[in-house]
Structure 1
Amino acid sequence: MGTPDLNAAASRMDAADIQHFYSSRSWIEGSALEQLEQVASLQGMQKLAAFPDLHPGKYGPVGCAMLSSNLYPQLISNDIGCGMSLFVLDLPSRKIKIDKSANQLAKLDQTASNAAKQNTNHLEANGLSATLHPGTLGTIGGGNHFCELQMVDHIENSDLATKAGLDSHQSCLLVHSGSRSLGTEVFASILQKQALTEAEANTYMALHDQAVRWAKLNRQLIAERAASLLRCDCKLISDSPHNLVEVIENMDGSRSFLHRKGAAKADMVFAPLAGSRDALSYLVHPTGRDDNALASLAHGAGRKYNRSSMHGRITRKRSVRDALIHTSFGGRVICEDSQLLIEEAPQAYKDAGHVLKDLTDLHLIEPVMSFKPLVTFKKSSSVSSSKKSFNSKHRRYKR
């Protein structure tokens, strides 16, 4: 057990089998396929499932599930328990005023910073230590994390939509976040280890499971605070983590470890499938028909271009960059970090509709409904003068 160096992964004649759950319409970067093959050659690796959102990551491919007799924490990395939660609001979509909602959701960071005392109570109420990183609980973080106000766009399966408690007149919140500073701390404790003893592996899994619970609570609090700003209540429809390890007890008494990196748990009734901030997102019903998929699914569109390359792909013209806080759906994006706004531009992502079609054609899912983005919150507090909003005339959407 240990943390793999993929560049030094030895070739194995009996490399694990890789199942590709995508079609030729899904654009997959060559380096992601190379990483996938390197992981397949790791000691103890048994089976891999790759999905249409597959793309290269820092320690291994993102958008895949990996079953192994060895535990490899580095394949999960620091954001342990990261996932997406979909909540329905008791706020009819017809009553939503986008500008007003954007102004309210722009206060989300402020509500989190004022909630340290409440956070200790929330931690204890959920069986977690009150000292377990209360300062970052209820915060979204950077990268591709977000809280998005959505409205139902189209219902594909009315029976399943009814089962989910959703209809065509409702609005929802989709929250994407993880374990924040807690996950970073857990990962740092094992990052430099080339191998884990059984005792160390057990310790890691205990800390890992704690971080997964913390991450779920984090998404819940983000949604509750966002709903409060919108003067409504929220109800959870689906919580689907996509960065985690599950321990599988085998019939012979041995253990296997199912690593999911950017691959949503599919052993549930419903799972969200996120698009970019200027694309539809979806609610799907996993069918569980193919065991080779390792009870997993694509978690979203997946990156097409890495973050650094986006600075060369987005023109420096102010009009083009200003447009990044608007969407083709008439929605708004709240983000005062101009670099993050560019790195997470819609152009950086694949077509979520293609991901949905691949999963549907392969009978891994049944589409339930689609959602239109109205307000996407990413970050409203400037962390340095160099990262302040470059579009002051639209600051009312991003305070």
Structure 2
Amino acid sequence: MGNCIKHLSERVSLIASDDTWIEGNAIHQLHHTASLAGMEQVAGMPDLHPGRGYPVGAAFFSRGRLYPALVGNDIGCGMALWRTELDARKLGAEPLEKRLGNIDGPLDASWADTVAQVVASHALEGAGHAQALGTIGGGNHFAELQRLEEIHDEAAVAALGLERRRLVLLVHSGSRGLGQAILQDHIERFGHRGLGDDGGDCADYLARHAQALRFARGNRELIARRMLERLRGGGERVLDVDHNFVAAATIGGNTGWLHRKGATPADVGAVVIPGSRGDYSYLVEPVADARSLLSLAHGAGRKWMRGECKSRLSARFTAEQLSRTHFGSRVICRDRQLIYEEAPQAYKPIDSVVAALCDAGLARPLARLRPVLTYKTQGECCR
């Protein structure tokens, strides 16, 4: 235990086994981030991969200064898991797909009261971008119906109200255009140099950041409710965990700012770590450990850059073939470019990511979830 935590330098650590796929440019970005002013420690997760200047699948701890660019544009992106009343024994991908239809566009007027309730409960008044509420977005965002295939801890799973006979719904989305607008405004004013934590500019960013976190959670709730209404099955939220945000934290006795860019908090109870759309997801119990900056992987992590996926795969697979998985599950993605970018082959195997976390003593598996139907886009309004 612990042999999967590698210390690359005094400030840089990496959670990975010897056979975990880690691209060299991601390591370079990890070291670059460690050199930023005020940065105390950075930790790469086993899903680490290169991002736009900064790595994805990592946590960063600074003192005296925080960096909005490390959080990125999708503030509050995260995972919500809902238990549903849908019968896992009777409902397969085809009937579920027919019921679901197209949920790309904005919510219509019939949702006005529900949207108002969510806006009020999440204190979203004045946030703007209300038309995006209830929409998944593009990129790696998705909503997926899953079945409990293997349970490792019956008591823990039962305590969450999950049952084999009922499908669960996993929603992965964020703050949509609101987070983008916040980051863009910040970069135009301050570039990538970050903010001292003792000024009004920092307080202003944190207030807008908090609003984006609330927006993202409200958005995931509306996505789930929208889908469950179409599927004619009720449901309740089990957990909702952000993986793109910055928060005050104490690490090793020092108080500072913990940035997570594609990193799941390890101090909030059970979390889901999803694989690619053609792989399992895992429900795990985290272990809060300062060596990983109180964080876990947030998914499988990319192996290939988006721009190279279609050229690598188009000679081997049609878009239609990529909409079916070896599980017999279906992927609704009518954007031909996106379905290649999000192909399972472009991601690391989730088993290797979760195994590295478990071998490092950072997580314990509770259940393995198998995909049934994944919704990304019907080809409208996904960008």
User: Shared topology, TM-score over 0.5?
Assistant: yes
Aligned to 2:320: 322
- Code of the residue aligned with 1:35 in structure 2: it is Q
Aligned partners of 1:121 and 1:130 also within 8 Å: no
Aligned partners of 2:273 and 2:284 also within 8 Å: yes
1:107 and 2:102 correspond: yes
1:219 and 2:220 correspond: yes
Offset of 1:235 from its aligned partner?
Answer: 1.3
Aligned to 1:60: 54
- Code of the residue aligned with 2:296 in structure 1: it is L
Aligned partners of 2:47 and 2:57 also within 8 Å: yes
Higher RCO (Cα < 8 Å, 6 or more apart): 2
Alpha-carbon distance between aligned partners in 1 of 2:378 and 2:22, rounded to the nearest angstrom: 33
Offset of 1:383 from its aligned partner?
Answer: 5.4
Cα displacement string for residues 134-174 of structure 1 (whole angstroms, at most 9, x for unaligned residues): 10011100000000011111001112112222232221001
Aligned partners of 1:16 and 1:45 also within 8 Å: no
Aligned to 2:38: 44
1:181 and 2:181 correspond: no
Alpha-carbon distance between aligned partners in 1 of 2:112 and 2:239, rounded to the nearest angstrom: 28
Alpha-carbon distance between aligned partners in 2 of 1:324 and 1:294, rounded to the nearest angstrom: 36
Higher mean displacement: 327-336 or 172-181: 327-336
- Code of the residue aligned with 1:324 in structure 2: it is L
More strand by share: 2
Aligned to 2:246: 245
- Which of 56, 66, 78 does residue 71 from structure 1 map onto? 66
Residues 6-17 of structure 1 aligned to structure 2 (within 5 Å): 17=11
Q: CA RMSD in A?
A: 2.1
Aligned to 2:291: 292
- Code of the residue aligned with 2:213 in structure 1: it is V
Query: For residues 343 and 168 of structure 1, do their structure 2 counterparts lie closer, same or farther at Cα, with a shift above 3 Å needed?
Result: same
TM-score by length of structure 2 reads 0.91
Between Structure 1 and Structure 2, how many residues are aligned? 368
Aligned to 2:306: 307
Aligned to 1:129: 125
Cα displacement string for residues 24-44 of structure 1 (whole angstroms, at most 9, x for unaligned residues): 121000000000000111111
Alpha-carbon distance between aligned partners in 1 of 2:103 and 2:360, rounded to the nearest angstrom: 39
Alpha-carbon distance between aligned partners in 1 of 2:149 and 2:90, rounded to the nearest angstrom: 15
Report SS of the residue matched to 1:217.
helix
Unmatched segments (≥5 aa) in structure 2: 1-8
Alpha-carbon distance between aligned partners in 1 of 2:210 and 2:174, rounded to the nearest angstrom: 13
Aligned partners of 1:79 and 1:243 also within 8 Å: yes
Query: For residues 23 and 188 of structure 1, do their structure 2 counterparts lie closer, same or farther at Cα, with a shift above 3 Å needed?
Result: same
- Identity, % of aligned pairs? 40
Unmatched segments (≥5 aa) in structure 1: 1-14, 388-399
Alpha-carbon distance between aligned partners in 1 of 2:381 and 2:292, rounded to the nearest angstrom: 41
Alpha-carbon distance between aligned partners in 2 of 1:115 and 1:341, rounded to the nearest angstrom: 31
Report SS of the residue matched to 2:348.
coil
Alpha-carbon distance between aligned partners in 2 of 1:269 and 1:139, rounded to the nearest angstrom: 27
Aligned partners of 1:275 and 1:300 also within 8 Å: yes
Aligned partners of 1:86 and 1:237 also within 8 Å: yes
Aligned partners of 2:105 and 2:380 also within 8 Å: no
- Code of the residue aligned with 2:353 in structure 1: it is V
Aligned to 1:25: 19
Cα displacement string for residues 328-386 of structure 1 (whole angstroms, at most 9, x for unaligned residues): 111111111111111111111000011111111111111000111111000114359xx
